[in-house]
Structures are given as C-alpha cells and as structure tokens.
Amino acid sequence: MNIRQAIRGAAALDAGAIVLFAAVGRANHDEGILGRAGLGLATTVWPFLAGAAIGWVIAKGWSKPCAWRPTGVVVWASTLVGGMLLRVASGQGVEVSFVVVAGLVLASFLIGWRVISGLLAKRPGLKR
C-alpha cells in the first residue's frame, strides 16, 4: 500500500465512522435518517465532518494517516470540539451528556481503528 492509498483509506474510515456515529445517534432518538425535511443525517453529521477535516489539517494527517497519535488524537479532539462548536453556531442542541457520549464514541471510532491497525501491522509474519 502506498501513502496515497493510506490517506484515502484513513479519510474514508474517519468519514464513515462519523456518519455511523450520527446515524446511530439519530436512530436511538427516533429521529430517522432523513428527518422531517429530508436532511436529517446531513444536518447532524456536517459539523463533525467539518471538525474532522480541520483536525486532519492541524495534524497534517496526510503524513501519518494511520497513526493513533498524533493523527488519531488530533482528529478525534477536533471532530468533537469543532463539531460541538459548529452545532451551537448552527442552532443545534448541545448538552453535557451528548458531549460525553460523543467524546467516548468518537474516540473509540477515530482512535480505535488506528490502534487496531497498528497492532495488526506489527503481527509477525504479516506481509508488508
């Protein structure tokens, strides 16, 4: 795998994890994927995707896209903080319990896949 493939794969995993987080959250609150106006998931997910994009820039994620630190930690923190700030700025709700749950879920998703990837890459006999 070359670095461009790793960058695309890591960005896709991050985006997919964030979309999954938003979709599960909407489903758990009986809001449905589309919502009343048909933009439910998009409305919920865009602040977090924007926060993640900012995190990729801050961490220079393209240099070590699969590293859990610093890339994963910075992308996670930026996704959480940026996402919550953008939710507030766009008139969406933010409660302490939501921040805690989002922080835990997003950490397990955005840092977790990188930790697992790193452990798998270190397995003996793995063809590199």
Residue 101 host element (H or E)? helix 96-110
Residues of the chain with pLDDT under 70: 1, 31-38, 126-128
Residue 71 domain flag: yes
Number of domains in the chain: 1
Domain that includes residue 76, residue range:
3-121
pLDDT tens digits along 79-111? 999 999 999 999 998 999 999 999 999 999 999
Residue 127 domain flag: no
Residue 128 domain flag: no
Kindly give, in sequence order, each residue whose CB lies less than 8 Å from that of residue 80, ignoring residues fewer than 6 positions away. Answer: 51, 99, 102, 103, 106
- pTM above 0.75? yes
